[in-house]
Amino acid sequence: MSLPVKPLAGVTVLELGTLIAGPFCTRILAEFGARVIKIESPDGGDPLRQWRKMYEGTSLWWYVQARNKESMTVNLKHPEGVEIVRKLALQADIVVENFRPGVLEKLGLGWEVLSDLNPGLVMVRLSGFGQTGPYRDQPGFGAIGESMGGLRYVTGFGDRPPVKTGVSIGDSIAALWAALGALMALRHREVNGGRGQVVDVALYEAVFAMMESLVPEFDVFGFIRERTGNVMPGITPSNTHTTRDGRHVIVGANGDAIFGRLMRALDRPDLAEDTSLATNAGRDARAAELYGVIDAWVGARNMEDVLRILKEAGVPASHIYSVADMFADPQFVAREMLQSMTLPDGKVFRAPAVVPKLQETPGGVDSPGPALGAHTREILVGLGYDDRAIDHLREVGAI
Protein backbone atom coordinates (compact mmCIF):
# COMPACT_ATOMS: atom_id res chain seq x y z
CA MET A 1 0.00 0.00 0.00
CA SER A 2 1.50 3.32 -1.06
CA LEU A 3 1.72 6.23 1.32
CA PRO A 4 -0.71 9.12 0.70
CA VAL A 5 0.63 12.10 -1.18
CA LYS A 6 1.29 14.98 1.19
CA PRO A 7 -0.83 18.10 0.55
CA LEU A 8 2.09 20.35 -0.39
CA ALA A 9 3.83 17.85 -2.66
CA GLY A 10 5.08 19.70 -5.75
CA VAL A 11 5.55 23.01 -3.92
CA THR A 12 9.15 24.25 -3.84
CA VAL A 13 10.25 26.56 -1.02
CA LEU A 14 13.52 28.48 -0.87
CA GLU A 15 14.52 29.33 2.70
CA LEU A 16 16.74 32.35 3.28
CA GLY A 17 16.71 32.58 7.03
CA THR A 18 18.25 31.50 10.30
CA LEU A 19 17.28 30.55 13.83
CA ILE A 20 13.59 30.39 14.61
CA ALA A 21 10.77 32.30 12.88
CA GLY A 22 11.59 31.76 9.20
CA PRO A 23 12.94 28.22 9.61
CA PHE A 24 9.97 27.17 11.74
CA CYS A 25 7.63 28.41 9.01
CA THR A 26 9.44 26.32 6.39
CA ARG A 27 9.58 23.33 8.73
CA ILE A 28 5.77 23.31 8.78
CA LEU A 29 5.67 23.45 4.98
CA ALA A 30 8.28 20.69 4.71
CA GLU A 31 6.36 18.42 7.09
CA PHE A 32 3.41 18.58 4.72
CA GLY A 33 5.34 17.74 1.59
CA ALA A 34 6.94 20.92 0.27
CA ARG A 35 10.48 20.65 -0.99
CA VAL A 36 12.41 23.10 1.18
CA ILE A 37 15.88 24.15 0.05
CA LYS A 38 17.61 25.88 2.94
CA ILE A 39 20.37 28.29 1.97
CA GLU A 40 23.14 28.43 4.59
CA SER A 41 26.40 30.27 4.86
CA PRO A 42 29.41 28.06 4.12
CA ASP A 43 30.92 29.51 7.31
CA GLY A 44 29.10 27.43 9.90
CA GLY A 45 25.55 27.60 8.59
CA ASP A 46 22.51 28.40 10.69
CA PRO A 47 23.51 29.34 14.28
CA LEU A 48 20.69 27.08 15.49
CA ARG A 49 23.03 24.18 14.74
CA GLN A 50 24.89 25.20 17.91
CA TRP A 51 22.00 26.16 20.23
CA ARG A 52 21.02 24.45 23.49
CA LYS A 53 21.73 20.75 24.06
CA MET A 54 24.24 19.25 21.64
CA TYR A 55 24.64 15.69 20.43
CA GLU A 56 27.95 14.86 18.78
CA GLY A 57 28.52 18.55 18.04
CA THR A 58 25.08 19.39 16.63
CA SER A 59 22.01 20.78 18.38
CA LEU A 60 19.11 18.39 18.90
CA TRP A 61 16.86 21.37 18.20
CA TRP A 62 18.45 21.63 14.76
CA TYR A 63 17.55 18.06 13.87
CA VAL A 64 13.89 18.85 14.59
CA GLN A 65 13.69 22.39 13.19
CA ALA A 66 15.33 21.43 9.88
CA ARG A 67 13.69 18.05 9.36
CA ASN A 68 12.65 17.17 5.81
CA LYS A 69 14.77 20.04 4.44
CA GLU A 70 17.72 20.13 2.06
CA SER A 71 20.82 22.12 3.02
CA MET A 72 22.78 24.06 0.43
CA THR A 73 25.74 26.30 1.22
CA VAL A 74 25.85 29.57 -0.70
CA ASN A 75 27.91 32.69 -0.06
CA LEU A 76 25.39 35.49 -0.54
CA LYS A 77 28.20 38.05 -0.59
CA HIS A 78 29.67 36.51 -3.73
CA PRO A 79 28.07 37.48 -7.08
CA GLU A 80 28.10 33.90 -8.33
CA GLY A 81 26.42 32.82 -5.10
CA VAL A 82 23.73 35.42 -5.61
CA GLU A 83 23.23 34.15 -9.16
CA ILE A 84 22.62 30.64 -7.81
CA VAL A 85 19.87 31.94 -5.54
CA ARG A 86 18.27 33.81 -8.44
CA LYS A 87 18.16 30.59 -10.43
CA LEU A 88 16.60 28.76 -7.51
CA ALA A 89 14.02 31.53 -7.06
CA LEU A 90 13.08 31.16 -10.72
CA GLN A 91 11.96 27.60 -9.96
CA ALA A 92 10.46 28.24 -6.52
CA ASP A 93 6.85 28.75 -5.49
CA ILE A 94 7.72 30.41 -2.17
CA VAL A 95 10.72 32.24 -0.79
CA VAL A 96 10.84 32.60 3.00
CA GLU A 97 13.30 35.12 4.47
CA ASN A 98 13.83 36.67 7.87
CA PHE A 99 16.63 39.15 7.28
CA ARG A 100 16.32 42.73 8.42
CA PRO A 101 14.34 44.76 5.83
CA GLY A 102 16.55 45.98 3.01
CA VAL A 103 19.25 43.30 3.36
CA LEU A 104 18.04 41.21 0.43
CA GLU A 105 17.67 44.34 -1.68
CA LYS A 106 21.33 45.19 -1.06
CA LEU A 107 22.27 41.68 -2.17
CA GLY A 108 20.28 41.99 -5.37
CA LEU A 109 17.67 39.50 -4.16
CA GLY A 110 14.81 41.82 -3.23
CA TRP A 111 11.17 41.40 -4.14
CA GLU A 112 11.31 43.49 -7.29
CA VAL A 113 14.19 41.45 -8.70
CA LEU A 114 12.82 38.03 -7.83
CA SER A 115 9.26 38.90 -8.83
CA ASP A 116 10.43 40.06 -12.26
CA LEU A 117 12.21 36.74 -12.68
CA ASN A 118 9.25 34.72 -11.42
CA PRO A 119 5.90 36.58 -11.47
CA GLY A 120 4.16 33.72 -9.65
CA LEU A 121 6.55 33.80 -6.71
CA VAL A 122 5.21 34.21 -3.17
CA MET A 123 7.71 35.93 -0.89
CA VAL A 124 7.23 35.55 2.86
CA ARG A 125 9.13 38.21 4.78
CA LEU A 126 9.46 37.90 8.55
CA SER A 127 11.06 40.71 10.51
CA GLY A 128 10.81 42.43 13.86
CA PHE A 129 8.67 45.35 12.71
CA GLY A 130 7.62 44.64 9.13
CA GLN A 131 8.76 46.07 5.81
CA THR A 132 7.39 49.57 6.44
CA GLY A 133 7.12 52.09 9.26
CA PRO A 134 9.65 54.05 11.30
CA TYR A 135 10.98 50.93 13.08
CA ARG A 136 11.52 48.80 9.99
CA ASP A 137 15.31 49.04 10.09
CA GLN A 138 15.64 48.17 13.77
CA PRO A 139 16.64 44.64 14.80
CA GLY A 140 13.83 42.80 16.50
CA PHE A 141 14.02 39.33 17.99
CA GLY A 142 11.06 37.37 19.33
CA ALA A 143 11.54 38.77 22.84
CA ILE A 144 11.09 42.28 21.45
CA GLY A 145 7.97 41.22 19.55
CA GLU A 146 6.53 39.66 22.70
CA SER A 147 7.23 42.85 24.65
CA MET A 148 5.92 45.32 22.10
CA GLY A 149 3.01 43.09 21.08
CA GLY A 150 1.61 43.02 24.61
CA LEU A 151 2.33 39.46 25.74
CA ARG A 152 5.09 40.18 28.23
CA TYR A 153 3.09 42.96 29.93
CA VAL A 154 0.26 40.61 30.89
CA THR A 155 2.43 37.59 31.80
CA GLY A 156 3.34 37.00 35.43
CA PHE A 157 2.17 38.31 38.79
CA GLY A 158 1.20 41.91 39.45
CA ASP A 159 3.67 42.43 42.28
CA ARG A 160 6.66 41.28 40.20
CA PRO A 161 8.26 42.25 36.88
CA PRO A 162 6.87 40.70 33.69
CA VAL A 163 8.19 37.25 32.79
CA LYS A 164 8.77 35.33 29.58
CA THR A 165 7.20 32.06 28.60
CA GLY A 166 9.55 29.08 28.66
CA VAL A 167 9.88 28.90 24.86
CA SER A 168 10.43 31.33 21.99
CA ILE A 169 6.71 31.86 21.61
CA GLY A 170 6.89 35.15 19.67
CA ASP A 171 8.96 33.60 16.90
CA SER A 172 6.72 30.53 16.80
CA ILE A 173 3.53 32.57 16.55
CA ALA A 174 5.05 34.60 13.71
CA ALA A 175 6.04 31.37 11.94
CA LEU A 176 2.46 30.11 12.09
CA TRP A 177 1.09 33.36 10.64
CA ALA A 178 3.78 33.19 7.95
CA ALA A 179 2.86 29.65 6.94
CA LEU A 180 -0.83 30.59 6.87
CA GLY A 181 -0.09 33.67 4.76
CA ALA A 182 2.01 31.65 2.33
CA LEU A 183 -0.79 29.17 1.79
CA MET A 184 -3.37 31.94 1.31
CA ALA A 185 -1.13 33.58 -1.28
CA LEU A 186 -0.71 30.26 -3.09
CA ARG A 187 -4.48 29.78 -3.03
CA HIS A 188 -4.98 33.19 -4.62
CA ARG A 189 -2.36 32.50 -7.26
CA GLU A 190 -3.64 29.09 -8.22
CA VAL A 191 -7.40 29.49 -7.94
CA ASN A 192 -7.95 33.14 -8.79
CA GLY A 193 -5.29 33.34 -11.47
CA GLY A 194 -3.37 35.91 -9.49
CA ARG A 195 0.30 36.74 -9.43
CA GLY A 196 2.56 36.05 -6.54
CA GLN A 197 2.78 38.57 -3.72
CA VAL A 198 4.62 39.53 -0.56
CA VAL A 199 3.46 38.14 2.79
CA ASP A 200 4.73 40.69 5.33
CA VAL A 201 4.89 39.29 8.88
CA ALA A 202 6.13 41.47 11.74
CA LEU A 203 6.91 39.67 14.98
CA TYR A 204 5.27 42.31 17.16
CA GLU A 205 2.11 42.21 15.02
CA ALA A 206 1.98 38.41 15.11
CA VAL A 207 1.95 38.55 18.92
CA PHE A 208 -0.38 41.55 19.01
CA ALA A 209 -2.94 39.63 16.95
CA MET A 210 -3.24 37.11 19.80
CA MET A 211 -4.10 39.64 22.48
CA GLU A 212 -7.80 38.83 22.66
CA SER A 213 -9.92 41.78 23.88
CA LEU A 214 -6.97 43.95 24.92
CA VAL A 215 -7.59 46.72 22.37
CA PRO A 216 -11.37 47.21 22.53
CA GLU A 217 -11.36 47.08 26.33
CA PHE A 218 -8.88 49.94 26.39
CA ASP A 219 -10.57 51.91 23.62
CA VAL A 220 -14.09 51.64 25.05
CA PHE A 221 -13.41 51.61 28.80
CA GLY A 222 -9.84 52.88 29.17
CA PHE A 223 -9.10 49.54 30.81
CA ILE A 224 -5.49 48.30 30.78
CA ARG A 225 -5.14 44.57 31.32
CA GLU A 226 -2.51 43.90 33.97
CA ARG A 227 -0.65 40.82 35.17
CA THR A 228 -2.88 38.63 37.30
CA GLY A 229 -0.78 35.53 37.82
CA ASN A 230 -2.61 32.28 37.22
CA VAL A 231 -6.10 33.76 37.17
CA MET A 232 -7.84 35.88 34.59
CA PRO A 233 -10.39 38.27 36.08
CA GLY A 234 -13.77 37.78 34.51
CA ILE A 235 -13.27 34.03 34.03
CA THR A 236 -13.94 32.29 37.36
CA PRO A 237 -12.99 29.79 38.62
CA SER A 238 -9.91 28.95 36.59
CA ASN A 239 -6.68 28.77 38.54
CA THR A 240 -3.64 26.75 39.60
CA HIS A 241 -3.79 24.95 42.94
CA THR A 242 -1.13 22.99 44.84
CA THR A 243 -1.83 19.49 46.11
CA ARG A 244 -0.75 17.96 49.39
CA ASP A 245 2.13 16.18 47.66
CA GLY A 246 3.40 19.42 46.12
CA ARG A 247 2.05 19.02 42.59
CA HIS A 248 0.37 21.84 40.68
CA VAL A 249 -3.11 21.30 39.25
CA ILE A 250 -5.16 23.48 36.92
CA VAL A 251 -8.89 23.46 37.60
CA GLY A 252 -11.07 25.11 34.96
CA ALA A 253 -14.70 25.34 36.09
CA ASN A 254 -15.82 28.67 34.67
CA GLY A 255 -18.77 27.13 32.81
CA ASP A 256 -22.02 27.48 34.71
CA ALA A 257 -22.91 23.76 34.78
CA ILE A 258 -19.29 22.74 35.37
CA PHE A 259 -19.09 25.03 38.40
CA GLY A 260 -22.03 23.23 39.96
CA ARG A 261 -20.37 19.85 39.39
CA LEU A 262 -17.13 21.12 40.91
CA MET A 263 -18.80 22.38 44.08
CA ARG A 264 -20.65 19.10 44.54
CA ALA A 265 -17.40 17.18 44.07
CA LEU A 266 -15.91 19.41 46.79
CA ASP A 267 -18.91 18.57 49.02
CA ARG A 268 -20.14 22.16 48.85
CA PRO A 269 -23.72 21.80 47.57
CA ASP A 270 -24.49 25.14 49.22
CA LEU A 271 -22.23 26.91 46.73
CA ALA A 272 -23.48 24.79 43.84
CA GLU A 273 -27.04 25.91 44.56
CA ASP A 274 -26.24 29.54 45.42
CA THR A 275 -28.08 31.55 42.74
CA SER A 276 -25.64 34.43 43.08
CA LEU A 277 -22.95 32.10 41.72
CA ALA A 278 -25.01 30.80 38.81
CA THR A 279 -23.25 33.06 36.29
CA ASN A 280 -19.65 33.95 35.62
CA ALA A 281 -20.15 37.56 36.71
CA GLY A 282 -21.46 36.47 40.09
CA ARG A 283 -18.64 34.01 40.61
CA ASP A 284 -16.06 36.57 39.60
CA ALA A 285 -17.36 38.96 42.26
CA ARG A 286 -16.62 36.28 44.87
CA ALA A 287 -13.44 34.95 43.25
CA ALA A 288 -11.27 35.18 46.37
CA GLU A 289 -13.80 33.18 48.41
CA LEU A 290 -14.14 30.47 45.75
CA TYR A 291 -10.41 30.14 45.23
CA GLY A 292 -9.97 29.77 48.97
CA VAL A 293 -12.44 26.88 48.98
CA ILE A 294 -10.76 25.14 46.05
CA ASP A 295 -7.27 25.77 47.43
CA ALA A 296 -8.18 24.16 50.75
CA TRP A 297 -9.79 21.11 49.12
CA VAL A 298 -6.94 20.50 46.67
CA GLY A 299 -4.29 21.16 49.32
CA ALA A 300 -5.72 18.42 51.55
CA ARG A 301 -5.33 15.70 48.90
CA ASN A 302 -2.65 14.12 46.78
CA MET A 303 -2.63 14.89 43.07
CA GLU A 304 -3.81 11.45 42.03
CA ASP A 305 -6.92 11.71 44.19
CA VAL A 306 -7.67 15.26 43.09
CA LEU A 307 -7.57 14.36 39.42
CA ARG A 308 -9.56 11.16 39.89
CA ILE A 309 -12.38 12.90 41.76
CA LEU A 310 -12.59 15.80 39.31
CA LYS A 311 -12.51 13.46 36.32
CA GLU A 312 -15.39 11.45 37.76
CA ALA A 313 -17.29 14.71 38.28
CA GLY A 314 -16.72 15.86 34.71
CA VAL A 315 -14.64 18.89 35.72
CA PRO A 316 -11.73 19.92 33.42
CA ALA A 317 -8.51 19.51 35.38
CA SER A 318 -4.90 18.56 34.78
CA HIS A 319 -1.62 18.64 36.56
CA ILE A 320 0.99 20.84 34.90
CA TYR A 321 3.07 18.53 32.75
CA SER A 322 6.83 18.38 32.58
CA VAL A 323 8.29 16.73 29.49
CA ALA A 324 8.75 13.58 31.61
CA ASP A 325 4.99 13.53 32.23
CA MET A 326 4.36 13.77 28.49
CA PHE A 327 6.51 10.72 27.81
CA ALA A 328 4.47 8.70 30.32
CA ASP A 329 1.00 9.95 29.36
CA PRO A 330 -1.34 7.56 27.51
CA GLN A 331 -2.97 10.38 25.53
CA PHE A 332 0.38 11.42 24.04
CA VAL A 333 1.05 7.75 23.21
CA ALA A 334 -2.38 7.10 21.70
CA ARG A 335 -2.15 10.19 19.52
CA GLU A 336 1.43 9.30 18.52
CA MET A 337 2.67 12.76 19.54
CA LEU A 338 6.21 11.55 20.25
CA GLN A 339 7.74 11.04 16.81
CA SER A 340 10.75 8.74 16.52
CA MET A 341 13.65 10.14 14.50
CA THR A 342 17.11 8.78 13.75
CA LEU A 343 20.36 10.67 14.18
CA PRO A 344 23.22 10.29 11.67
CA ASP A 345 24.96 7.70 13.87
CA GLY A 346 21.80 5.58 14.06
CA LYS A 347 20.66 6.66 17.50
CA VAL A 348 16.88 6.88 17.72
CA PHE A 349 15.33 9.77 19.63
CA ARG A 350 11.87 11.21 20.02
CA ALA A 351 10.67 14.63 18.93
CA PRO A 352 7.29 16.36 18.65
CA ALA A 353 5.13 14.77 15.98
CA VAL A 354 3.59 16.72 13.12
CA VAL A 355 0.47 18.80 13.72
CA PRO A 356 -2.25 19.30 12.64
CA LYS A 357 -3.43 15.78 11.88
CA LEU A 358 -4.94 15.55 8.39
CA GLN A 359 -7.11 12.48 7.89
CA GLU A 360 -6.41 11.81 4.21
CA THR A 361 -3.10 13.55 3.51
CA PRO A 362 -1.16 13.71 6.79
CA GLY A 363 2.22 15.30 7.13
CA GLY A 364 5.22 13.34 8.31
CA VAL A 365 8.93 13.22 9.02
CA ASP A 366 11.16 11.73 6.35
CA SER A 367 14.59 12.89 7.52
CA PRO A 368 16.24 14.83 10.36
CA GLY A 369 17.94 18.18 9.84
CA PRO A 370 20.74 17.64 7.31
CA ALA A 371 24.47 18.14 7.60
CA LEU A 372 25.70 21.54 6.45
CA GLY A 373 25.71 21.64 2.65
CA ALA A 374 24.61 18.03 2.33
CA HIS A 375 22.61 18.74 -0.82
CA THR A 376 24.71 21.47 -2.43
CA ARG A 377 26.10 19.43 -5.31
CA GLU A 378 22.79 17.67 -6.00
CA ILE A 379 20.91 20.97 -6.18
CA LEU A 380 23.51 22.58 -8.42
CA VAL A 381 23.38 19.64 -10.81
CA GLY A 382 19.62 20.11 -10.93
CA LEU A 383 20.23 23.73 -11.96
CA GLY A 384 22.45 22.59 -14.84
CA TYR A 385 25.92 23.03 -13.28
CA ASP A 386 28.45 20.36 -14.25
CA ASP A 387 31.33 19.11 -12.10
CA ARG A 388 33.75 21.64 -13.52
CA ALA A 389 31.42 24.55 -12.78
CA ILE A 390 30.76 23.27 -9.26
CA ASP A 391 34.47 22.94 -8.56
CA HIS A 392 34.92 26.51 -9.79
CA LEU A 393 32.23 27.78 -7.41
CA ARG A 394 34.02 26.11 -4.51
CA GLU A 395 37.36 27.53 -5.54
CA VAL A 396 36.08 31.12 -5.68
CA GLY A 397 34.15 30.78 -2.40
CA ALA A 398 30.65 31.11 -3.88
CA ILE A 399 29.46 27.91 -2.19
What are the backbone dihedrals phi and psi of residue 80, each rounded to the nearest 5 degrees, phi first?
-75, -30
Residue 232, number of CB atoms within 10 A of its CB = 15
Distances (CA, A) of 3 to 30, 315, 338: 16, 40, 20
In a domain, 233, yes or no: no
- Contact criterion met (CB below 8 Å) for 47 and 118: no
Residue 249, number of CB atoms within 10 A of its CB = 20
Claim to verify: residue 140 and residue 273 sit in the same structural domain:
no
Q: What is the CATH number of the domain that holds 268?
A: 3.30.1540.10
Q: How confident is the model at residue 234 (pLDDT cuts 50, 70, 90)?
A: confident
In a domain, 324, yes or no: no
In a domain, 166, yes or no: yes
Q: How confident is the model at residue 1 (pLDDT cuts 50, 70, 90)?
A: low
Is the backbone peptide bond immediately before 216 cis, with ω within 30 degrees of 0?
no
Percentage, residues of the chain above pLDDT 90? 97
In a domain, 224, yes or no: no
Q: Catalytic residue positions? A: 171
What are the backbone dihedrals phi and psi of residue 144, each rounded to the nearest 5 degrees, phi first?
-70, -40
Q: What is the CATH number of the domain that holds 133?
A: 3.40.50.10540
Rounded to whole angstroms, how far apart are CA atoms 253 and 287?
12
In a domain, 151, yes or no: yes
Claim to verify: residue 156 and residue 27 sit in the same structural domain:
yes
Of the three residues 285, 319, 353, the one that is the final residue of a domain is 319
Dihedral over alpha carbons 95, 101, 106, 108 (to 10 degrees) = 20
Region 273-294: what's the mean pLDDT? Answer: 96
The β-bridge partners of 37 are 14, 70
Of the three residues 287, 319, 351, the one that is the final residue of a domain is 319
Claim to verify: residue 34 and residue 146 sit in the same structural domain:
yes
pLDDT greater than 80 at residue 57: yes
Claim to verify: residue 182 and residue 247 sit in the same structural domain:
no
Closest CA to 126 of 96, 82, 94: 96
In a domain, 6, yes or no: no
Question: Mean pLDDT of all residues in the chain?
Answer: 96
Rounded to whole angstroms, how far apart are CA atoms 340 and 346?
12
Q: Is 241 helix (H, G, I), strand (E, B) or coil?
A: strand
Rounded to whole angstroms, how far apart are CA atoms 252 and 180?
30
Claim to verify: residue 167 and residue 245 sit in the same structural domain:
no
pLDDT in tens, 335-356: 999 999 999 999 999 999 999 9
Range of the domain at 21: 12-210+336-395
- Contact criterion met (CB below 8 Å) for 62 and 49: yes
Give the CB-side neighbour count of residue 76, counting CA atoms within 13 A: 20
In a domain, 226, yes or no: no
Claim to verify: residue 255 and residue 116 sit in the same structural domain:
no
Claim to verify: residue 176 and residue 313 sit in the same structural domain:
no
Closest CA to 38 of 70, 68, 64: 70
Rounded to whole angstroms, how far apart are CA atoms 115 and 284?
55
pLDDT in tens, 284-315: 999 999 999 999 999 999 999 999 999 999 99
Claim to verify: residue 61 and residue 203 sit in the same structural domain:
yes
Q: Is 45 helix (H, G, I), strand (E, B) or coil?
A: coil
Claim to verify: residue 105 and residue 41 sit in the same structural domain:
yes
> How many structural domains compose the chain?
2
Of the three residues 261, 293, 319, the one that is the final residue of a domain is 319
Least confident segment among 189-198, 357-366, 372-381: 189-198
Region 164-189: what's the mean pLDDT? Answer: 97
**Do you know the residue count of the chain?**
399
Region 57-76: what's the mean pLDDT? Answer: 98
Q: What is the DSSP string of 302-364?
A: -HHHHHHHHHHHT--EEEPPPHHHHHH-HHHHHTT-EEEEE-TTS-EEEEE--SS--SSS---
The β-bridge partners of 351 are 339
Strands 198-202 and 317-319, how do they pair? unpaired
pLDDT greater than 80 at residue 197: yes
Claim to verify: residue 144 and residue 26 sit in the same structural domain:
yes
Dihedral over alpha carbons 306, 309, 311, 317 (to 10 degrees) = -30
Confidence (pLDDT) at 61: 97
In a domain, 243, yes or no: yes
